Structure 1
Amino acid sequence: MRGLLASPLGLLIGLSLGALGGGGSILAVPALVYGAGENATAATTTSLLVVGVASLLGMGSHWKAGRVRLGPGLVFGVTGLGGSAIGTALNRHVDPDVLLLTFSVVMVIAAAGMWKRGGSPDCIDDENPETIDGPGPSLTSTGGPGSTGNVAVADPPRTERPTRIHLDARTIPKILLAGTIVGLMTGFFGVGGGFVIVPALVLTLGFTMPDAVGTSLVVIALNAAMALALRAGSVDIQWDDALPFVILAVIGTLLGRRLADRLNPVTLTRGFVGLLVLVAIYTAASSTVALT
């Protein structure tokens, strides 16, 4: 019953995944611990299920918008499988309260990274031609001898070229390092690591922000599936808590995709950062009291 009452938090998790490509997954663990009453170890496992399913199903709307680069996403995700295995192994040997205290630090780091990313030019949507092509489409005159007048016709908008992977001596180590860190965090904390994936795709592969958000869901789903497979048989998922969270997280992911099209991404990101900091403070205070 407690899990059902807390399940609306799953909507918030999905909203962040759909709109920002990350961050929402980092809220899943404290939501399940303090909202649904799960212990930290069980919450990280349930979180993987919630985040993985929401990312996989929510990816469809981004796919239709042409914002998912499946090939690069799979390559990036595969590099994190080793880190996911290590993180999962470490998770089983850490005190739950220590895990939550460490997790609060990660949330603060995530908040700082998302705040910095939220004010960067890369957050501007590349589907707005006024943003990437200048003041707007140019006009050409169709008037000529014998015409009744000049008719201004807009040049056809430029079509965005698909993002491609450029592997070189500098890019490969960045992909391997970023992918491994994301996998490690996924296995250890039960989070998708989208707040690491999105800037990594932008900085290492030159993705636009919208493409990075859509592609990050591929990586999150892959890493979550790997971490869940490694935990199979060792931790039981509390389905009474998981199912309502999953359903609302999927709905939230679909709504988040639409929300991202209507709201300023800078405002959206910074609003979430404030929430993330508050949750981090609460988690740190609660775990510190439990350890003393």
Structure 2
Amino acid sequence: MNTLILALIAGAVIGLALGALGGGGSVLAVPALIYLLDFSPASATTASLIIVTATSATALYAHARDGHVAWKTGVLFAAAGILPAFLAGAAAGHLPAAALTAAFAVVAALAAVRMLRPAAAQLPERVSPLKAAGTGAGLGAVTGFLGVGGGFLAVPALVGVLGLRMKQAVGTSLLVITVNSLAALIARTGTSGGDLRWEVIAPFTGAAILGAWDGKRLSAKITGRTLQRLFATVLLAVAGLMLADVVW
């Protein structure tokens, strides 16, 4: 299939994931860039951060307009992750690609299993600033280390740890993704291997941004629990594929 068509299709799918689920874009973008579009792992990581930063910022605007962003919690959560994301992103460049892939797959699978559990009674939305900052710092470190936006971890953390409603967690996670992805991208500047192909990245990003708007409309028609199940299913599938790639 033509490279441009593949880039447009993959971008639209990643955009739908970010717009509807508040995450999952990087989880899908990295394998798509490597296995469908022939990027090297290093370049795929950097390219995915470019794509996800632009797309999540667009999707954030749409969710914020509808009042689905907990700004105080989100700002604390995101700000606490900036330095850890930057430092971990720089350190990750010194580790073998297989080790990073395996770690990513394990973390994604654990997050998916947690979201598939029956929903527990949620906490009040008055969140301790220290709790938000501590959770955000941990997420930032994982985001920088694994080279992804972190939405697949941000949504479960915002729901399960900080007690936000699912739709509000989706919107708030987009703020976290935008900030953490930008910090990780800055840390990785100059380490992409020199083969970033903008003729692929540009249409991929454009399709993802358009897909994010459709994803936002989709999220308004689906219950929070259904979103969680869809999100977890995607995570488990991707984790399984990446682990299989490492083993075989």
TM-score range, shorter chain: 0.7 to 0.9
CA contact (8 A) 1:40 1:100 kept: no
Equivalence for 1:12: 13
Moved over 4 A (4+): 119-122, 163-166
Q: Which consecutive residues of structure 2, in runs of 5 or more, have no partner in the other structure? A: none
Does residue 277 (structure 1) correspond to residue 236 (structure 2)? The answer is yes
Return 206-215 or 2-11, whichever deviates more.
2-11
5 Å matches for 1:1-292? Answer: 2=3, 4-116=5-117, 119=119, 166-167=127-128, 172=130, 174-235=131-192, 236=194, 237-289=196-248
Residues 198 and 212, structure 1, Cα contact 8 Å, conserved in 2: yes
User: Distance in 2 between the 1:120 and 1:9 partners?
Assistant: 34
Deviates more, 1:47-56 or 1:269-278: 269-278
* Cα distance in 2, alignment partners of residues 240 and 186 from structure 1: 26
Change (3 A) 1:288 1:225: same
Partners of 1:88 and 1:272 in 2: how far apart?
A: 25
SS in 1 for 2:105: helix
Give the C-alpha shift of residue 5 in structure 1.
1.8
- TM-aligned CA distance change 1:77 to 1:54, over 3 Å: same
Distance 1:6 1:51 in 2: 14
Distance 1:121 1:16, change over 3 A: farther
1:283 Cα deviation from its structure 2 partner: 1.7
* Letter aligned with residue 278 of structure 1: A
201-210 vs 104-113, greater mean Cα deviation: 201-210
Are 1:178 and 1:197, in contact at CA under 8 Å, matched by a contact in 2? no
Moved more, 270-279 or 180-189: 270-279
The offset of 1:3, in angstroms, is 6.2
Deviations 1:80-119 (A, max 9, x none): 01210222122211222332222222221232133237x4
CA drift of 1:191 comes to 1.4
Distance 2:99 2:161 in 1: 33
8 Å contact from structure 2 (residues 22, 151) kept in 1: yes
Secondary structure in 1 matching 2:201: helix
Task: Identify if the C-alpha distance between structure 1 residues 2 and 286 changes in structure 2 by more than 3 Å, giving closer, same or farther.
Answer: farther
Structure-2 separation of matches of 1:272 and 1:262: 15
For structure 1, list consecutive stretches of 5 or more residues without a partner in the other structure: 123-162
Q: Which whole-Å deviations, capped at 9, do the CAs of 1:34-84 have from their partners, x for residues lacking one?
A: 111112221111111111111101111111111123333222111001210
Number of aligned pairs? 244
Q: Check conservation: 2:108, 2:152, Cα contact below 8 A.
A: no
Q: Which amino acid aligns with 2:202?
A: L
State how far apart, in whole Å, the 1-side matches of 2:225 and 2:238 are.
20
Using structure 2 for the length normalisation, give the TM-score: 0.87
Instruction: Name the aligned partner's letter for residue 181 of structure 1.
Output: G
Opposite residue 80 of structure 1, the aligned amino acid is: G
- Which residue identity lines up with residue 243 of structure 2 in the other structure? A
Q: Say what the alpha-carbon RMSD is for the aligned residues.
A: 2.4
**In percent, how many aligned pairs have the same letter?**
38
Once residues 282 and 29 of structure 1 are traced to their aligned partners in structure 2, the CA distance between those partners, rounded to angstroms, is 12
